[in-house]
Every structure is written in structure tokens, then in C-alpha cells.
């Protein structure tokens, strides 16, 4: 019984509380919230309003005495001149400036990389002119082998060049030229200077190769002359058969070639 009475009393209390609640529509508060967020700063939505002949006492208590000029200035954060609008504008301007700086830095980076690629010796192996021409021309110097150098010489000529020091001289010259070629190939310089260095070194190599060719030919010729002199001294020289008809046949052959 007591439990039933308690429940009934609690139910009546809840009903009284529900009946006692009502929806409050405070226009002044609602308009102020709208003004301070994003909506329009409407001069007609400042409540309480002045009323007839500005005789509304609530207006004077809220606005008239304490904030008479409050409604004249738009204080919304997102107003055209509001602080949040200015911050967003500053953020957009800074973002645009950052993008501009980024573009400039990317341009500087690209230019620097292209200059490094054009001057660095690390990528000189990829130069088309080196791959197609100078690498093959400098191959006898870069891959110098004394065994291959003396392969086309007779043993007597090779011994003569070794005894005279010509072979060692030529090997030393090629080694020095090889070091200069490698220095020009790996040093950091612009492509035009590198190609000019290749050109000068190639001319030096050709002159050196010409000197070597002359000396090897001279050594072989000297050996041939010495052998012929030795043959003459030993009276073992063979004289070919000669007749007057031999000279006549030679003259006829020459005349036929001239005609």
C-alpha cells in the first residue's frame, strides 16, 4: 500500500513538472547569437527595440545607456571586415606566397641539377660524344698493353726498341697521357671545356702514335739494311739475270700505263 502511494505521488510530481515547462523564445538572445556567428548584421534585429518615440525602458537599460553605438559597427567574426575573415584572407595570401616560393625553389632546384649534370664528372660517361667517338679513339691509351704493342714487330725489331729504350719511353708517354685523359674525363667542368680537352689530348696522342710508327719503321729499316750489308760483305748477294730485252719490256709497260 505504501509503495503504491509513493509511486502515485512520484507520478503526480512528474506531471506537474512537465506541465510547468514551456518553450522560451528570447529574440534578443537568438538575434545576438546569429549576429556573432555569420548571419547578417541587421539593424532591425536589436532587441529590445526603442519602441514608440524611444520610450521602451528595456531598450534604454540594455542598449541606450550602456551601448548606444553597439549596433553601428559590424562585430561578426565572419563579416567582410571581421577578424576571422581577415585571418582567412591572410592564410590565403600566405598560401599563395608559399606556392610562389615553392615554384621558385623548384625552378632553382631544376636549374642547379641541370648545371650539375652538365659539369659533373660523375655523369661524363653518358656524354653521347664520348660514347660515340672519343671512347673508341682513346681506347689504345686507356687499355694500353705492351704485349699488344710489340705483337706486330719482328723479334729483332722488338729487341732493338727495348735495348734503345724506345718501348719504355712510349709506354711512359702513354701512361702520362692516360692520366690526363682520366683527369679531364672525371673532373667537374662544363661540357664545352671537357670536349676541348678531349680534342687536344687526341691530337697529342696522334702525334705520339706517329712518332712511334716512325721509330718502329726506322728500327725495321735499319735491321733490313744491316742484313743486306752483311749479305754483300759475305759475297752471297744474288744478281738477277739481265738482258737488253728486259729494259725494253719495262719501258713498254711504263708507256702503256701512261697511255
Query: Within 13 Å, how many C-alpha atoms sit on residue 66's CB side?
Result: 6
Task: Give the pLDDT band (50/70/90) at residue 55.
Answer: confident
Q: 47 pLDDT band (50/70/90 cuts)?
A: confident
Give whole-number Cα distances, 131 to 139, 179, 183, 230, 258, in Å.
Answer: 11, 19, 17, 52, 48
Q: How confident is the model at residue 65 (pLDDT cuts 50, 70, 90)?
A: confident
Confidence band of 152 (pLDDT split at 50, 70, 90): low
**Among the ranges given (63-77, 94-108, 204-218), the one the predictor scored with the smallest mean pLDDT:** 63-77
Categorize the per-residue pLDDT at 190 as very low, low, confident or very high, splitting at 50, 70 and 90: confident
Q: What is the pTM of this model?
A: 0.49
pLDDT (average), residues 104-129: 79
Highest mean pLDDT among 29-38, 71-80, 102-111 belongs to 102-111
Q: What is the mean pLDDT of the chain?
A: 78
In this predicted structure, the answer to whether residue 227 has a pLDDT above a threshold of 70 is no
Q: Taking the CB of residue 67, how many other CB atoms lie within 10 A of it?
A: 10
CA atoms of 9 and 24, how far apart (whole Å): 28
Of residues 234 and 120, the one with the higher pLDDT is: 120
Residues in CB range of 166: below 8 A, 6 or more apart: 212, 215, 219
Whether the predicted pLDDT of 137 surpasses 90: yes
C-alpha cell at 14: 512528474
Residue keyed to cell 556573432: 36
Domain extent listing, the chain: 121-232
- The CA-based angle 67-72-75, given to 5 degrees, is 85
CA distances from 88 to 77, 83, 84, 102 (A): 11, 9, 6, 21
Helix residue ranges, H only, the chain: 2-20, 27-37, 57-59, 83-119, 128-129, 135-137, 139-142, 146-149, 155-164, 166-186, 191-233, 244-258
Amino acid at each position: 500500500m505504501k509503495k503504491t502511494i509513493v509511486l502515485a505521488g512520484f507520478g503526480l510530481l512528474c506531471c506537474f513538472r512537465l506541465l510547468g515547462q514551456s518553450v522560451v523564445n528570447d529574440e534578443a538572445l537568438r538575434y545576438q547569437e546569429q549576429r556573432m556567428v555569420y548571419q547578417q548584421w541587421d539593424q532591425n534585429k536589436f532587441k529590445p527595440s526603442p519602441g514608440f518615440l524611444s520610450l521602451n525602458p528595456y531598450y534604454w537599460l540594455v542598449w541606450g545607456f550602456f551601448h548606444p553605438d553597439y549596433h553601428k559597427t559590424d562585430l561578426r567574426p565572419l563579416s567582410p571586415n571581421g577578424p576571422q575573415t581577415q585571418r582567412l584572407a591572410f592564410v590565403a595570401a600566405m598560401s599563395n606566397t608559399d606556392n610562389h616560393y615553392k615554384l621558385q625553389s623548384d625552378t632553382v632546384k631544376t636549374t642547379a641539377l641541370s648545371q650539375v649534370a652538365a659539369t659533373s664528372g660523375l655523369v661524363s660517361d653518358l656524354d653521347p660524344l664520348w660514347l660515340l667517338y672519343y671512347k673508341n679513339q682513346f681506347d689504345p691509351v686507356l687499355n694500353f698493353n705492351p704485349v699488344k704493342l710489340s705483337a706486330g714487330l719482328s723479334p729483332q725489331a722488338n729487341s732493338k726498341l727495348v735495348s734503345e729504350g724506345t718501348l719504355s719511353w712510349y709506354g711512359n708517354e702513354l701512361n702520362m697521357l692516360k692520366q690526363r685523359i682520366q683527369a679531364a674525363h672525371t673532373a667537374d667542368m662544363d661540357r664545352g671545356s671537357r670536349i676541348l680537352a678531349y680534342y687536344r689530348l687526341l691530337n697529342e696522342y696522334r702525334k705520339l702514335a706517329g712518332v712511334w710508327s716512325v721509330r718502329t719503321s726506322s728500327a725495321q729499316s735499319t735491321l733490313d739494311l744491316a742484313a743486306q750489308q752483311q749479305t754483300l760483305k759475305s759475297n752471297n748477294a744474288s744478281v738477277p739475270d739481265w738482258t737488253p730485252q728486259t729494259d725494253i719490256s719495262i719501258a713498254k709497260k711504263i708507256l702503256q700505263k701512261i697511255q
